[in-house]
Each structure stands twice: as structure tokens, then as C-alpha cells.
Amino acid sequence: METVDYANDRQLNEFIIDFSDGNLDGIELQVFNEYLKFANPVRAFALKAKEGCQALRNHYKVKAADDFEEKLARRIAEENKNLVESE
């Protein structure tokens, strides 16, 4: 897998972050798109970052079990009881 390291280019990093987050608009987006037309490796990297970001944001959510709070309350009650007994 090709790795592209743009870590040293702070401004480019910021642009790619904003591009992936969908926070570039108007003139900024226009300027960035113009730039990408002439910078193929950056374009490939920025598009991959954006797609990776979208894949994760659409990822399914994991939820707590219905009895989660009940179990936690039991553990806390037990801990409090042990604390009182040890005092």
C-alpha cells in the first residue's frame, strides 16, 4: 500500500481535513479543487481520506444492553457495601 506523508505540510493537512469533513465551501473549495487538478498524488490521498471518513461515519452504532444500568448499579452498590464494611 502506498503511504503518502503530508505531515510536514501543515496547511495542506488542514485543507485535507476540512475537505474530508465537508467544511470547505465557496472560494476555499474552488481553490482546493483547482489545486487538486494539478497535484494527482494529493488528489488521490485527499479523496481516499474523504471516503474513509464517510465510511466510518456511516458505520453502524453499537448500543448498550438493556440491563446495562442495572448491572452497573449492582456493582456500585456492592462496592459501597464493601467500603462501609471495611470502615
> Which residues here bind other proteins, judged by CB under 8 A?
1-7, 10, 13-14, 16-17, 20, 45, 48-53, 55-57, 59-65, 68-69, 71-72, 75-76, 79
| Residue 84 beta carbon to other proteins: minimum distance, rounded to whole angstroms | 15
- The DSSP line for 27-74 is HHHHHHHHHHHT-HHHHHHHHHHHHHHHHHHTSPPP---TTHHHHHHH
What are 85's three cell numbers? 464494611
* Closest distance to other proteins from the beta carbon of 83 (Å): 10
Which residue, chain included where needed, has cell 488521490? 44
Residue 6 CB, nearest distance to other proteins (Å)? Answer: 7
